[in-house]
Amino acid sequence: MFTKLLSLVFALTAVASIHAQENIVEEGHYLFDANKKLIKLIQSQGDLTIDHVGNHGYEVYGPAGVGQWLQNIADQADVAVISLDHEKESKAAKDAFVSYPTPAQIAARLQELQAKHPNIFKLFSIGQSGNGQELYAVKLSDNVHEDELEPEFKYIANMHGDEIVGREMMVLLLEDLTERYAKGESEIKSLIDNTEIYIIPSMNPDGAQSRRRGNARWSDLNRNFPDFTTDNTNRPDGRQPETQAVMAFQAARKFALSANFHGGTECVNYPWDTTGDDFPLLELVKKLSAEYANDVPGMKNSSEFPGGITNGYDWYEVDGGMQDWSYHWHQDLQVTIELSHQKWPNYSTIPQYFKWNKGSMIRYMSRVHQGAGFKFETNKSGRVEIEKLGTFKSINLGEYTFGDGEFYKVLDTGRYRFTVTTSDGEQESFTTKVSTQSGSYTPNFTKL
């Protein structure tokens, strides 16, 4: 027994040291570990990725050879393991893979939309993937080539290459919104005219092309962002090209609300992921998550996630995820939306997923208007203190920084006092009301 344990420790050290800090995901396995007997041991291997912890077990990803190690610890704990290697799957699953559009075909559909709706649709690239594919982004807004004073919203899908439903949803959503705008549907027109909407259908085209979780370098992009509990620098250097592109894009914009789409189960996961501490706007983020989940049958009726929502850390800890990074460094409130139990379902099921999620996707976008901000006539930077005003007592929501003379934040409904202090010592204060806008949208900025 002791020798067995010793050899386990050796095997474990060998695996754990292959690609320290890299979150390499060359192999995937599913452990039928319903009682989570092995999860702590696996988590203690810093560079192994655990995903989708469920009632029956969970997925584990790691560098080549991790399967043997998992098999060893699983045998000792009497837990079954199966490989998630696509080579070993059924013909039906292999057929489902080839029926999907290629990244080039996705790009062609986006180019077609731009040609059809050039006034509201701008296609551009935020950088290149490891294999040199463009990382396409779409801006959807009126006066699409101008930077107007409107709240900024963002969707990112397919950062895990083998979680494909989000990418398809983004293209269908863009087709749907542009068509309804062209028809003159008033709510859609008001939303697009008064919001700067950015959509990145595939953050990981290399992974999508070969149906794998990681990028071309086998790295897990949702473990590749700066983790604020262990890294206080927010430096992009040394990270994956796709991560660096998103970091630079986000730093150049002022996103106030966003979501990133995944697959493997159905739920909305809200921050934090990396710590059990309460998220600063916990009630708000829970409400927004519940609102999304409530209209999607598979989420609303979930037996695993009450109401279809879960706190990230309560579910399983994720370090280096995009959602925590987004809020910690950029005040961009982000949730993670898991769209489908099957990561790569038969292509024929895609319209059904869109039918289930379309209403929630559009409503969630519109919630960027439940907020308040300000704009200076000239380029100023500084700090802003936000206080929620109440009948009996006010609540201090803390201090935030701003640059380029502009600030905007999604908030719970209510009345707020903003106290703005510029870096040259000027101080201004104003009160503003935040309400749930629907049907028609007005950007809520106070001019200073």
Nearer to Zn ion, 161 or 226 (CB): 161
Name residue, tokens 């953050």. 203
Nearer to Zn ion, 154 or 369 (CB): 154
Nearer to Zn ion, 107 or 156 (CB): 156
**Interior/surface letters 131-158, b for 16+ CB within 10 angstroms, e for the rest:** eebbbbbbbbbbebeeeeebbbbbbbbb
Q: Which residues are catalytic?
A: 338
CB atoms inside a 10 Å sphere around CB 427: 9
User: Which positions lie near Zn ion, rule CB under 5 A?
Assistant: 160, 163, 262
CB atoms inside a 10 Å sphere around CB 386: 20
Question: Shortest Cβ distance from residue 418 to Zn ion (Å)?
Answer: 36
Nearer to Zn ion, 163 or 406 (CB): 163
CB atoms inside a 10 Å sphere around CB 413: 11
C-alpha closest to that of 288 among 355, 371, 230: 371
Q: What is the DSSP letter of 130?
A: T
Nearer to Zn ion, 163 or 206 (CB): 163
Structure token pair of residue 29: 């396995």
Question: Shortest Cβ distance from residue 262 to Zn ion (Å)?
Answer: 3
Give, in order, the Cα–Cα distances in Å from 75 to each of 38, 70, 81, 281, 432.
Answer: 11, 8, 9, 43, 61
Question: Shortest Cβ distance from residue 85 to Zn ion (Å)?
Answer: 18
Question: Shortest Cβ distance from residue 287 to Zn ion (Å)?
Answer: 24
Q: Which is it for strands 152-157 and 255-262: parallel, antiparallel or unpaired?
A: parallel
Question: Shortest Cβ distance from residue 77 to Zn ion (Å)?
Answer: 26
CB 237 within 8 A of CB 224: no
